[in-house]
Structure 1
Amino acid sequence: MSALLADARLLGLDRLRRTLHERPETGLHLPRTQQAVLTALDGLGLELHTGTALTSVVGVVSGTRPGPTVLLRADLDALDFPEGPRHSCGHDQHAAMLVGAAHLLAARRDRFAGDVLLMFQPGEEGHDGARLMLTEGLLETTGSRPVAAYALHSSANAPAGQFANTAGPALAASGTLAVTLHGAGGHGAWPHRTRDPIPALAEIVTALGALPARRFDPFDPVVLTVGTVHAGTRPAIVPERARLEATLRALSDGTLDRLAGIARDTARGVAAAHALEAEVTYTPGYPATVNDPAEADRVREAVTGLFGPERFVRGIRPALVSDDIGRVLAEVPGVMTSLGACPPDRDPHTAPGNHAPDAVFDDAVLPDGAALLAELALRRLAAGGPS
């Protein structure tokens, strides 16, 4: 067992994770989460900064000699369920692992030249916290822009302790389409006296669903999923308006822009055919997450060195989920790597996945994640400047 992993197992990271799990907060302002992270970093002698537009924490672990900067990132926010906030995406684990890496690196300052930039980020779940942290000068914190960036993401339905990443496009770019149809309501007994938006809305749902298969190359995949439909109040009343919202996803920003344009035109065209007014808006979300191939290989080498080759899997295809780590990786070569955290009493193939209300994550993987983050920082700093 490596000294990094042995030391990580002594940190008791599960205690911090449980504290965060029991006090979930959503969005950009996570005061209790921020304080828990600051308390966990206290006494390490780090340079610490907190955000203005959001309750972020930025820490710097400095080596004893000048050198490059490497960024390590963890997101902090929980998911907002109808019954209340809950950590069902593993962000509480991410925070605990990055705190663990900070402890490991602080104890090894004399072994590296340069700085490790710790990015504790609120607002990943739809609030674009990474963009705000970049705007507040994250990459200029040490006076030397990072030469590499690394992040881990726990997976509730992958085998515990299994690391995996994909070189190149890894996670999707995303956006949201909203369509509101305005017609003329009336009694359901005389639909010819109305301009009924419901049949048009149904046609738009069908037409949008056909776009990926009929308008896009299957080797450049896109997804368009209508997630909400709202219309009407009574069976015998034709409503004046109807509305849908859809998520759009693609593996490149350019393909997503094209999908959004075609979807807008489709909705407007169907509405016009029904003599309806259409209010169509598209809101861009996160850019695609593109893993740097060299850094993806560095992760594989680090996992192999720490745990053995059987613990790493090279992904054969990207995922069409999104993460605002893509904003960081657009500025800094780096990689998002997944870490399986399915509990041993569950089958990874059938276990509830991330974002499910009953998702469960195994805390036994926390020392592994902390050790890997620290190892990646040490390896990349030892390699020197830009690759």
Structure 2
Amino acid sequence: MQLLRKKCLFYQKKEFVRSLSVTVIIFSTPFIVYELYFLCNENGCKFSLMYILESFFQNEPLFDPFAFIVYFLWWILLISAWVFLPGYFKQGNILDNGARLTYKINGFRTLIFVLSICTIGFYLKGVDFLEFVWSHYLGLITSSLIFSIALSCYTYACSFLSNRCLSKAGNTGNYIYDFYMGRELNPRIGLFDIKEFVELRPGIILWVVLNLSFAAHQYIHLEGQITNSMVLVCLFQIWYCVDSLWNEELVLTTMDITTEGFGYMLCFGSITWVPFIYSFQARYLAFHPVYLSNFAVIGIILLQCLGFWIFRGANSQKDAFRKNPEASSVRHLTYITTEKGNKLITSGWWGRSRHINYFGDWLMAWAWCLPTGFENPITYFYVVYFAVYSPSFVLL
């Protein structure tokens, strides 16, 4: 009986810690997005507790009705592109319930479609066309936050309907934790897979548009010039986005699709965090131009290439192994089988490190931050965040 009481007490403490942890994350992450906007602007970058508190009492409204309408139309545009643009259908991995879902792959075509619209707008209106994003940036943050919360609530409510495939990680009975992790594994409306769509389209493609807008603002600010630092950041990050969409089908074998539910974590992360946090370096350079030496440019390019080589090589190897361990390109790899029956590669890229893909990603993070110089440490937020978040988020 005493042992049973201890186990119950331990379980209660664990559930409390879980609830407290995700509650802090749910409320703190939007705050971070807003604060990076307020702390770093044309007036400089300040980092003090007093300035943080004062920033939320400024006269600038968080909600912008016009930005909300535009952001709503942005979603309509992307969903319409998913429906009407040509693509091909790809089957994902077999899920725990034995189902094997089919996904429409046309993310790269959607990106080309959006960039074509931007090109036409640029041709008709010049750089002022892209200045809209800069002028309504705060309103777009709020709009994306509203969408991410609304979609999280919708998918959580729908997970209680019958015949839903639930995620093990998000079906604990702890309401707050399940809302954060995602209770339903693959929420769908017909063939439209909400999780796969959100993972690769609204945030990643908006990230590209934001960077183009920041480059346009710098072009106007510097009266027809763009610094080499801005070119590097935009080139590297757009390259990353293009690669993600070009290799869209590779995401079908990742844990995001096969294991994790679709909750606040993936919803807010994909819709709000990715575009508005990951584009921070380009936004900083838009109002704080940095000129790099040729030596620095070459060094940063080499770092980016090294990081991408590791990142893409490791992820491609893992994807090929998960699809068919007996394929000629991966059958030489050694592996161990976990208690759950999963096969973990122990050679090749994955013999060098347990999370070698994160290391490549982290090197690229440095290549994105170094062009901002060393005047303000806040521009290295992404490097620190990635180093802390990547290995630890699975512990919650």
Task: Give the TM-score category using the shorter length.
Answer: under 0.3
Q: Which has the higher contact order (CA 8 A, sep 6+)?
A: 1
Structure with the largest fraction of helix: 2
Question: Given the two structures, how large is their TM-score scaled by the length of structure 2?
Answer: 0.26
**Which structure is larger by alpha-carbon Rg, 1 or 2?**
1
Tell me which protein shows more strand as a share of its residues.
1
